[in-house]
Amino acid sequence: MKESWRWYGDFDKITLDQIGQTGASGIVSSLHQIPYGEVWQRETVASHKARIEAAGFSWVVVESLPIHERIKRGEGDLSTLFANYRQSMANLAAEGVSCICYNFMPLIDWTRTDLAFPTSGGATCLRFEAYKMAAFEVHMLKRAGAEEDYQPDVLVKAEHWFKASTEADRAMLLSSIMSGLPGAFDRYDIDGLRKALKGYEGLGRSELRANFKRFLDEIIPAAEELGMRFCVHPDDPPRDILGLARIVSDAEDIAWLFDAVDSRANGLTLCSGSLGASPRNDLPAIARRFADRIHFAHLRNVAKDADGSFEEAAHLDGDTDMVALVAALLDEEARRKAEGRADWEIPFRPDHGHEMPIDRDRGYVVGYPLVGRLRGLAEVRGVIRALNAVRKVA
């Protein structure tokens, strides 16, 4: 497996020189400065790649080439947006960048209610607290029907929290949830979020699936011609949020995706943290079932509560058997290598990480500290080395 590291370019306080000290050899990156829907010009792609290679890395995965919200909504004439997307793909392929991670989550990306939840040793982690999310939806956003999405005991806790909260508490909760909005361009206050959500009224699971299939029909044939691999990132968390349908949340959804457009280019980013936040998902089983379509992996762990809450655990702790998951990925690599495939190696990155005291107040991207992720990479590296050593003995 190819050790990789997510780098946010000029938005990142962590430098490529610092990343070099982690031992990773691949960079996962994007052109975050370009608004959604615009073409990634070849010169800009080449310049970004040159910076990465000058530091001794290879640009192994684009994370991500974002999908404009109008495509997700199926809104109006989308021909220009699809054409721009394909041109960006062609410009990436022309520079030798061939793997693209993306997601199809409507409006909001990953969602957390706490960005600095205390954990062991003075570190903090990202956490999704069900009663806080309920308090936000029911009492702050006042979304119609929100009560139906939460257990009765969660709603009771939500009301208690809201009544006891200060304006500062509510502002912090809004800020935490808005941190999951993708890119650097959109953040909403309560009224702005209400208006944004109106654009998705009537867009249920079947409608979103139809729009997703339309995207795949427009893009995957071009990916095949260009020799590119696309890998969708699962929903985070794998449940409906803010009344918005999520359609890449479990094995059934993944199977639908691959049946919708049956092509090796139409693949999966196996994110053990996103899928692992649902008790219905067995990560090692999912990895083995869909192994031949996994093009990229995010490895992290979560600890779940019965009410739907969860927090990001240390990489080898939590509810997912990380050793069994890595073993499944190594078995798939061995199978690909035996077939003689040039693309047998699966790039992975340590996804997120606890913010250690040494990471604090350094202005890192939320969820992406230096030392916390380095710990995760080192732990997963040890698992890989140990499993490979056992294979050699066997």
The residues annotated as belonging to the active site are: 233, 271, 298, 351-352, 368
Helix intervals (H) in 199-321:
205-226, 251-260, 272-276, 283-289
3-class secondary-structure state, position 350: strand
Got the DSSP string for 42-106? HHHHHHHHHHHHHTT-EEEEEE--PPPHHHHHT-S--HHHHHHHHHHHHHHHHTT--EEEE---S
Query: Tokens in use for 347?
Result: 């790039």
Q: How many CB atoms lie within 10 A of CB 222?
A: 18
CB atoms within 10 A of CB 336: 17
Amino acid at 369: P
**Would you say how long the chain is, in residues?**
394
Cα–Cα distance, 85 to 89 (Å, whole number):
6
Count Cβ neighbours within 10 Å for each residue of 303-321 and write b for 16 or more, e otherwise: bbeeebbbbbbbbbebebb
The helix or strand, by DSSP H or E, that contains position 304, with its residue range, turns out to be: strand 301-304
- What CA–CA distance (Å, rounded) separates 68 from 151? 33
